[in-house]
């Protein structure tokens, strides 16, 4: 399933989701705006991980968790190798599941996911 350097094979990563300052600034424009949708549809990955997976900056990737899948635009980010960061939004809702352990918010940190380059 995983093969280093093969651009058509998925690789496993730890996904962390959260809010970004840019996302907070765009909320005034509205969640349906193209700008906001672009923010929540962007995944950040370490440049070395991108090279190993055969993902070009700006390329599309499919992310799969035990709960679902979503498609993102992948860009280089300041995240540790082996980890990806995605802003909260509709795409991440498909990945996190529905269980909240009574908190009202699903766990959004430390999910093991597969990332597969598209195209």
Is the model more confident about 2 or about 28?
Answer: 28
In a domain, 88, yes or no: yes
In a domain, 2, yes or no: no
Closest CA to 92 of 119, 65, 61: 65
E strand residue ranges, the chain? 11-18, 42-45, 59-64, 69-76, 83-87, 109-117
Reply yes or no on whether the pLDDT at 118 is more than 80.
Answer: yes
Q: What is the tally of structural domains in the chain?
A: 1
Tell me phi and psi for residue 8, to 5 degrees: -105, 10
In a domain, 1, yes or no: no
Q: What is the pLDDT of residue 7?
A: 45
Mean of pLDDT values over 34-45:
90
In a domain, 31, yes or no: yes
Note down the domain range covering 26.
11-117
Instruction: Please tell me the distance from the alpha carbon of residue 78 to that of residue 76, in angstroms, as a whole number.
Output: 7
CATH of the domain at 43: 2.40.40.20
Q: What is the pLDDT of residue 4?
A: 46
In a domain, 63, yes or no: yes
Q: What is the largest CA-CA distance in the chain?
A: 43
Mean of pLDDT values over 49-53:
94
Reply yes or no on whether the pLDDT at 109 is more than 60.
Answer: yes
**Could you tell me if 96 and 65 are in contact, meaning their C-beta atoms sit under 8 angstroms apart?**
yes
C-alpha 19 chain-centroid distance = 12
Mean of pLDDT values over 7-18:
79
Helix and strand totals (H; E) in the chain: 4, 6
In a domain, 4, yes or no: no
Closest CA to 89 of 5, 33, 12, 51: 33
Reply yes or no on whether the pLDDT at 108 is more than 90.
Answer: no
C-alpha 89 chain-centroid distance = 10
Mean of pLDDT values over 7-11:
66
In a domain, 5, yes or no: no
């Amino acid at each position: 399933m995983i093969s280093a350097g093969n651009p058509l094979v998925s690789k496993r990563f730890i996904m962390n989701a959260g809010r970004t300052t840019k996302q907070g600034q765009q909320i005034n424009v509205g969640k349906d705006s193209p700008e906001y949708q672009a923010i929540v549809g962007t995944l950040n990955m370490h440049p070395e991980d991108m090279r190993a997976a055969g993902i070009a900056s700006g390329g599309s990737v499919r992310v799969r968790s035990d709960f679902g899948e979503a498609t993102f635009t992948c860009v280089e980010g300041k995240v540790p190798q082996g980890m990806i960061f995605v802003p909260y939004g509709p795409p991440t809702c498909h990945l996190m599941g529905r269980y909240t352990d009574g908190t009202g918010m699903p766990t959004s940190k430390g999910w093991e996911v597969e990332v597969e380059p598209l195209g």
